[in-house]
Structure 1
Amino acid sequence: MKKQLALALLVCGSLWIRAQVGINTSAPEGILHVDGMKNTSASTSTSYYDDVVITSSGNMGVGTKTPKTRLDLRSGERLNAIGIGATSQTAAAAKAGALRYNSGSQDLSYSNGSSWIPLAHKTSNDFVDAENSSAQSFTDGVQTAITGWTKRTDVNSSFNASTGIFTASKAGVYIVSFSVSLASGSIANDSRYETLIQTNSTSSSTSKVFKCVGSYPGNNTIDNRVAGNCSGIFNLNQGDHITVSLNQKLGSTKTLDTDATLTSLSIFGL
């Protein structure tokens, strides 16, 4: 009888000992304790930064051994960001309280059980202010994108000054305006030029070209400085491009004026 009691006590003791599981640690401090780097020291609080602990109350701590909520990420080194991805689930399938990230509008939304509701947020709008003194050449009758810009402002680094390509950082409405000035030179009789703003949008509903035309009708016997401007409003998807270009039909090759203030571009996202 004594042997059976001793055996029962031994089994129960073993079960109690195994009630706390440690991975990479021989001294678990919760029902489950994982020491990622195998560096935990009870006397050094910073050693818990790589640990995951589940307490007897069911709370989980990542980077802390004393979680105060169902999931507690408040570790001392402040690397406490939570990664939330997109989902194709309906709000009803995800259930009330679920969160998701929306890549197009770059915001978070939550499910109320029937609909996805965007959380109030404010991200920086795209804003580009650039000028051009590159003396770029334009062949007569050939539409050519204006390149070689110098950026004065580019809030979200969305403008490639070398290629002249702007990329929308998020979906929205964009106002674009640019002016261009060519170096003085002869102009052919009854000549014209076009300034253009266009997108490469993959959506037919947002793909658009704004074209502005200037003309020199009749006889032109003296040198002239050609200058023009164009503006437009675009509804863009995230990743859509905007470029500005010139198609001059003035009778010969022309170049941009080297005065940077005369050729300028501004793009603003609402």
Structure 2
Amino acid sequence: MKKNIIIIIIGCIISQLGMAQIGVNTDNPKTLLHIDGRSSAATTNPATGAVSALQASDDLVVTSDGRIGIGTLTPSARVDILSSTPGALRIIDGSERSFRMLVSDNNGVLSWTSAMGTWFASMNGKFPLIYETTYIMKPIKGYSESVISSPTEGAVNVSTGEITVPYKGYYRVTIGGHWGTNRTGANVYVIIPYVYINGAPSANFIAVGAHSNYGLSPTFITVLPFNANDKVMVYNDQRWGTSANVVDQIFFDIEYIE
């Protein structure tokens, strides 16, 4: 009896080894492993003969050379997905957000990251031409207009003058406008806008005006690293006798780089 059982087991093993292809949900496998999803009558594989592209659209196959095909019986890469509608691949690992790109590190590990220019925020404003008499670091706030690329990522606050960046990385910061002074007469004066991060000074720029009877309209550009949810704003340094003490027009832009 035991001998008969052993013979049967050996026969089954030999039978399985002799099978070139294994089908799941189909008696008509076309690869080493062929699974027919059979999601509808139109996509159900025939019992014999060729499998059409429509019938293969819900199939999964593994070929003898280790390739995986989803929606195709002839994968041309290690993993080949064929779909008639967008959104064939979905990866959720906590780094996914709108407008992000899938990139790899040196080890080929994939993650989502934002591409240059996919996030930006901007504010601009016009203010009365009133020369300040105090020698202070003056925060620029009360902007009149703002725009942001994604309302669900980051924020702009025209009242406080703050732009909140959504994630860690490097950003292009652009500040421009019209500065002036009534302090220096015919002598030169300096324009010194500062970038503040979370209430602390981070970077500053300098431009020189020739005469207090004339305003100057410079544009300053730099690249700065920010952390997620950093609040960024512009201050005007008017602490000196030669510094510009009025800003009647200004724009403030931040754009994600990497």
Task: With the length of structure 1 as denominator, give the TM-score of the two structures.
Answer: 0.48
